[in-house]
A and B are shown apart, each in its own frame.
Chain A
Amino acid sequence: MTDTSTRTEPADWATDQEVRWCPGCGDYSILTAMRMLMPELEVDRENTVFVSGIGCAARFPYYMNTYGMHGIHGRAPAIATGLAMARPDLDVWVIGGDGDMMSIGGNHLIHALRRNVNLNILLFNNMIYGLTKGQFSPTSEVGKVTKSSPMGSLDSPFNPMSVALGAEASFVARTHDMDRQHMMEMFRRAHDHKGASIVEVFQNCNVFNDGAWEGITKKGNRDSNLISLEHGKPVKFGADGEFGVVIDNGTAKVVSVADVGESALLVHDETKPDPSTAFMLSRLSRGPFEPTPIGVFRAVERIEYATSSTAQLAMAQNDKGAGDLSSLLRSRGTWQV
Chain B
Amino acid sequence: MTDTAPRELPLQELDEVIIRFAGDSGDGMQLTGDQFTSISAALGNDLATLPEFPAEIRAPQGTLAGVSAFQVRISDFAITTPGDAPTVLVAMNPAALKAQLPNLVQGGAIIINTDAFSEKNLEKAGYESNPLEDGSLDGYRSYPVPMSQITRDAVAEHGVKPRDAERSKNFFALGLISWMYTRPVEPTMEFIGTKFRGKELVIKANEAAFHAGYNFGETAELFESHYEIKPAELPKGEYTNVNGNTAIAWGCAAAGQLARLPVFLGSYPITPASDILHDLSELKHFGVRTFQAEDEIAAAASAVGAAFGGALAFTTTSGPGVALKGETLGLAVSLELPLVVIDIQRGGPSTGLPTKPEQADLLMAMYGRHSESPMPIVAPKSPADCFNAAIEACRIALRYRTPVMLLSDGYLATSSEPWLLPDIDSLPDIGVDFHTGFNGTNEDGDGIFLPYLRDSETLARPWAIPGTPDLMHRIGGIEKEDESGNISYDPANHQKMIDLRAAKIEGIDVPDVEVAGDPDADFCMLGWGSTWGAIDAAVDRLQAAGKKVAHVHLTHLNPFPKNLGEVLSKFETVICPEMNAGQLVDLVRAKYLLDVKPVNKMNGVPFTTAEIESAALQAIEAS
Contacts and interface: CB of A to CB of B under 8 A. Distances in A.
Interface of A: 1-3, 15, 17, 44-51, 54, 61-62, 64-72, 75, 78-87, 89-90, 107-108, 111, 309, 312-313, 315-317, 319-323, 325-326, 328-330, 332-337
Given A61-B474, A78-B298, A1 B303 contact: no
* A-B pairs with lowest CB-CB distance, top 8: A70-B476, A323-B286, A82-B302, A82-B305, A316-B284, A83-B305, A78-B301, A78-B298
B467 A90 contact: yes
Contacts of A71: 301, 304, 331, 476-477
B605 interface: no
Contacts of A86: 262, 264, 289, 305-306, 309-311, 313
A149 to B, nearest CB: 26
Nearest to A328: B250
A17 B487 contact: yes
B473 interface: yes
B335 A62 contact: no
Most buried by A among B253, B288, B289, B302: B302
Contact of B471 (A46, A68, A87): A46
B476 A69 contact: yes
Contacts of B284: 312-313, 315-317
Given A69-B308, A82-B264, A323 B303 contact: no
B170 interface: no
Contacts of A329: 240, 250, 421-422, 424
A337 B40 CA distance: 13
A330 B287 CA distance: 19
Interface stretch (B228-236, B351-359, B547-555): B228-236
Given A82-B301, A321-B285, A46 B466 contact: yes
B301 A17 contact: no
6 contacts: A3-B469, A15-B474, A72-B477, A309-B289, A325-B253, A337-B235
B372 interface: no
B285 A323 contact: yes
A257 to B, nearest CB: 44
B308 A83 contact: yes
Interface string B558-593: 000000000000000000000000000000000000
Given A45-B472, A86-B264, A329-B250, 18 more contacts: A46-B467, A65-B472, A66-B472, A70-B474, A70-B475, A82-B266, A82-B306, A82-B309, A82-B313, A90-B309, A107-B295, A309-B289, A313-B285, A315-B284, A323-B257, A323-B288, A336-B238, A337-B234
A145 B287 CA distance: 53
A316 B280 CA distance: 13
Most buried by B among A61, A62, A85, A315: A85
Interface string B327-354: 1101100010000000000000000000
Nearest to B476: A70
B468 interface: yes
B475 A69 contact: yes
A253 B254 CA distance: 60
Interface in B463-500: 465-478, 486-487
A312 B231 CA distance: 43
Interface in B263-314: 264, 266, 283-289, 291, 293-295, 297-298, 301-311, 313
B44 interface: yes
A313 B263 CA distance: 12
Contact of A69 (B421, B467, B474): B474
Most buried by A among B38, B236, B487: B487
A85 B473 contact: no
Contacts of B310: 86-87
A62 B476 CA distance: 9
A68 to B, nearest CB: 4
B285 A334 contact: no
Contact of A337 (B236, B257, B302): B236
Nearest to B303: A82
Nearest to A88: B309
Contacts of A80: 305
B287 A78 contact: no
Given A309-B289, A337-B237, A79 B301 contact: yes
Contacts of B366: none
A108 B421 contact: no
A330 B240 contact: yes
Contacts of A15: 474
A132 to B, nearest CB: 15
A322 B288 CA distance: 11
B297 A78 contact: yes
Contacts of B487: 17, 62
Contacts of A46: 466-472
A253 B425 CA distance: 71
Given A69-B475, A72-B328, A86-B262, A334 B239 contact: yes
A49 B250 CA distance: 32
A62 B302 contact: no
Most buried by B among A48, A78, A86: A86
Nearest to B46: A337
Contacts of B309: 82-83, 86-87, 90
A67 B472 contact: yes
Contact of A72 (B285, B289, B327): B327
Given A46-B468, A65-B472, A335-B42, A79 B305 contact: yes
A62 B474 contact: yes
B375 interface: no
Interface in B313-330: 313, 327-328, 330
B616 interface: no
B40 to A, nearest CB: 10
Nearest to B262: A86
Contacts of A334: 238-240, 421
Nearest to B231: A337
A8 B243 CA distance: 55
A330 B421 contact: yes
Contact of A67 (B242, B246, B283, B473): B473
Given A71-B476, A75-B328, A107-B294, A316 B305 contact: no
A85 B306 contact: yes
Most buried by B among A45, A49, A321: A49
Given A70-B478, A71-B331, A82-B313, A319 B305 contact: no
Contacts of B63: none
Contacts of B311: 86
Contact of B285 (A17, A108, A320, A330): A320
Interface string B197-226: 000000000000000000000000000000
Nearest to A337: B234
